[in-house]
Amino acid sequence: MFHYTRWTALREVLLWIVALIFLLPFYFLISTALKSDAEVFSTNPVAPPSAMELGNFAEVFTATGQSNILLGLLNSVIITGGSILGLVVLGSLAGYVIARSTRRWSKVAYYLFLVAITLPTQLGTVPLYIGARTLGLTGSPWGMIVLYTGMLLPLSIFLYAGFFRGLGIAYEEAAVMDGATPTQVFFLIVLPLMAPATGTVAILAGLIVWNDFFTPLIFLAGSGAQTLPVAMYFYVGSLVSQWNQIFAIVIVSMIPIIAFYLFAQKKFMQGFAGGLKN
Amino acid sequence: MTASTHRGDRSLAAGQRPATPRAGTPGRPPRPRRPRPLIAFGHWWWALPAIIAVTAIHYAATAAGGFFAFTDWSGIGSFEFIGWDNFTRILADPVQLGALRNTLLIAFGSVVLTNVIGLGLALALNRGLKTRYVLRVLLFMPVVLSPLAVSYIWKFIFEYNGPLNQFLGALGLTSLQKAWLADPTWSIWVILVVVVWQNTGIAMVIYLANLASVDPGIEEAAALDGAGVMQRFRHITLPSIRPAIAISTTLGLINGFRVFDQIMALTGGGPAGATETLATEVYKETFSLGNFGYGAALALMLTVIILVFAIVQQRVTRDRSKEGQ
């Protein structure tokens, strides 16, 4: 039934047309970023650039202060990397004992994390801000790492607990029979097995942290430690309809994540599709 | 966000069964059940840092926010407990009512559109096409981008001198040309378009994952028995993708209620408050205007709305999936 027929070929062509229309915004993005100032104001916005104008990109890297894109990139890398590390370490330990324990407290803890996932962050933002300010955690990448780790731990624990439940205990039992302590079992047996779950946690949580705009806008306000989206926001805010320059910074901000996505696209889609089935 | 709800849904269902979670792994001979394992796995205190962090950052902060919703605190100095005053003021303020309406419009509008389009794409890309993997990668791409960056691209498209109006002009539809984002009627729909464009890929991959587990043999058999395309979709495909519908709509709804970045980048809430949502109003009241109490009351409303819809959705979809099996 599912042979490749003329009808399938037609369907394929139609879908490519749909996909090209769907991706049309990327054409505008790239073609406009390559236009000169004169051209962007005078010509048709749909027309391709007459010459490749790379000056807009050079301009992006000269911005200083809050719109310093290189500093933003560095901060985003530090904050995202640190948060992933915290989420993997704390999330896997907690997810493991919660999945393995048959005691009542583990079920209570599980629901504690479950409900926290649906709880929107807005209501807690102000008290959190005041708390963080009191503890001196605002305005620094380290404070952001602590904050994100706490904010996204429920998601991380959830993914790990689900993974460990599906893992089965045969390996661990065998190790215990051979005299391994619980700590040895976790670090020598479980840790090497949990790579798929760790990948999903890193991708989902990493993407949330990397693209987040609201939290750094508030918690890093006024400091020199802005992240990439916030630096882009301030850079764009200083321009008026200079779409060539706006799009240059938009492209620069997109390059790291698109490169990473193309490198690990299967894992990205699996993560969003609910995870750890494969 | 995202995949978590999916896992949660399944784990919840599993947790309700009388068996212990790790018993009954498929494909393994049944082991004799013990009431409590003789060996210990890990130490309970390994979960302690996570429990403390989540209790503080999620629960304590939210509870404190809920408390300030009933005060007139400005963020500094003293405050008075004022009961339901903030809420009465919200419900009497046309801007906040508009924000509430916009929040619901974006949440429900985006859920319906992303799921219809996402399901359509998933069905088209499920099997058969030679280039289906490339197409999936391309159509999913907007999901990984920052909503802020995506919004800037669309802001250009909807500019008065932008590509959309050029296109309408080329078709001779000059009467339809307008400053989309400056138009109080149209601007909220522009935001909806941007949200849908970015999130359709999520729905698509959720449906694709579900469709991959559906046996093509059943559909094949039905086709041999003379069932048409629509009949096969209604009686075979639709019942088997109910889990995906449940997950995808719940996720979409929760994310739809929180839309913030797109509005800040596209309109900033304007023109004249026409695109404000509860999330943008919370930000403005608390962080721009210093009305912490009032902002907290708005945030509490948003929280209650999200929790109510999350619970209703769980109930509705769980019952339906039982009925479908």
Q: Which residues are paired to B71 by β-bridges?
A: B81
Q: Which of A83-92, A98-107, A122-131, B78-87 ranks highest by mean pLDDT?
A: A83-92
B59 CB neighbours in chain A (<8 A) are: 112, 116
Cα–Cα distances (Å) from B22 to A99, A169, A247, B147, in that order, read 8, 8, 51, 39
Is residue A257 in a domain? no
Same domain? For A20 and A143 the reply is: no
A241 touches chain B (CB under 8 A): yes
Is residue A254 in a domain? no
- Pick B149's closest partner by Cβ from A4, A208, A254: A254
**CB spacing of B50 vs A90 below 8 angstroms:** yes
Tell me what pLDDT residue B133 has: 92
d(CA B111, CA B106): 8
In terms of residue numbers, what domain contains A33?
A: 6-60
In this model, does residue B17 exceed pLDDT 70? no
Is residue A76 in a domain? yes
Is residue A112 in a domain? yes
Instruction: Summarize pLDDT for A25-40 with one digit per residue, the tens.
Output: 999 999 999 988 888 8
Residue ranges of domains in chain B, CATH in brackets: 66-324 (1.10.3720.10)
Mutate: best of A204, A272, A277, partner B, most B CBs <10 A: A272
d(CA A95, CA A77): 26
Contact predicate A159/A216, CB 8 Å: no
- Pick A186's closest partner by Cβ from B42, B166, B303: B42
Cα–Cα distances (Å) from B282 to A123, A249, B100, B301, in that order, read 9, 28, 11, 10
d(CA B105, CA B262): 15
B260 CB neighbours in chain A (<8 A) are: 213-214
Block residue for tokens 């903030």? B86
- Pick B8's closest partner by Cβ from A117, A151, A243: A117
CATH number, domain containing residue A153: 1.10.3720.10
In this model, does residue A203 exceed pLDDT 80? yes
Same domain? For A41 and A166 the reply is: no
Same domain? For A103 and A51 the reply is: no
Contact predicate B87/B298, CB 8 Å: no
d(CA B95, CA B108): 20
Q: Is B33 helix (H, G, I), strand (E, B) or coil?
A: coil
A102 CB neighbours in chain B (<8 A) are: 20, 36-37
The total domain count for chain A is 2
Instruction: Summarize pLDDT for B46-62 with one digit per residue, the tens.
Output: 889 999 999 999 999 99
Res. A276 pLDDT band, cuts 50 70 90: very low
Same domain? For A49 and A73 the reply is: no
d(CA A58, CA B230): 55
Give the end of a domain, one of A60, A84, A100. Answer: A60
Same domain? For A96 and A52 the reply is: no
Same domain? For A79 and A184 the reply is: yes
Res. B114 pLDDT band, cuts 50 70 90: very high
Chain A, chain B: beta-carbon pairs less than 8 Å apart: 324
Alpha carbon dihedral A89, A92, A93, A98, in 10-degree steps, equals 150
Res. A260 pLDDT band, cuts 50 70 90: very high
d(CA B188, CA B222): 44
pLDDT > 90: percent of chain B? 42
Contact predicate B263/B42, CB 8 Å: no
- Pick A96's closest partner by Cβ from B46, B75, B307: B46
Instruction: Summarize pLDDT for B64-97 with one digit per residue, the tens.
Output: 999 999 998 887 788 888 889 889 999 999 999 9
A189 touches chain B (CB under 8 A): no
Q: Is B81 helix (H, G, I), strand (E, B) or coil?
A: strand
Chain A nearest-CA distance from B97, in A, is: 18
Res. A259 pLDDT band, cuts 50 70 90: very high
Residue of chain B minimizing CA distance to A213: B261
Q: Which of A205-219, A250-264, B36-50, B93-107 has the lowest mean pLDDT?
A: B36-50
**CA of residue B132 relative to chain centroid, distance:** 26
Tell me what pLDDT residue B28 has: 57
A253: closest CA among A65, A121, A50, A63?
Answer: A63
Question: Average pLDDT of B6-11?
Answer: 39
Q: Is B1 helix (H, G, I), strand (E, B) or coil?
A: coil
Tell me what pLDDT residue B26 has: 53
Question: Average pLDDT of A141-148?
Answer: 93
Same domain? For A177 and A206 the reply is: yes
Tell me what pLDDT residue A240 has: 81
Same domain? For A155 and A41 the reply is: no
Same domain? For A179 and A214 the reply is: yes
Same domain? For A203 and A106 the reply is: yes
Phi, psi (deg, nearest 5) at residue B79: -145, 160
Cβ count near B189 (within 10 Å):
15
ipTM of the complex: 0.90
Tell me what pLDDT residue A62 has: 85
Same domain? For A50 and A79 the reply is: no
**CB spacing of A176 vs B39 below 8 angstroms:** yes
Model pTM?
0.86
- Pick A128's closest partner by Cβ from B43, B57, B287: B57
Instruction: Summarize pLDDT for B182-234 with one digit per residue, the tens.
Output: 999 999 999 999 999 999 999 999 999 999 888 888 888 888 888 888 888 88
Tell me what pLDDT residue B309 has: 87
Tell me what pLDDT residue B151 has: 94
Same domain? For A167 and A223 the reply is: yes
What tokens were used for A230?
């916030």
Is residue A165 in a domain? yes
Q: Which residues are paired to B81 by β-bridges?
A: B71
Q: Which residues contact A38 (CB under 8 A, 6 or more apart)?
A: none
B47 CB neighbours in chain A (<8 A) are: 93-94, 97-98, 106, 109
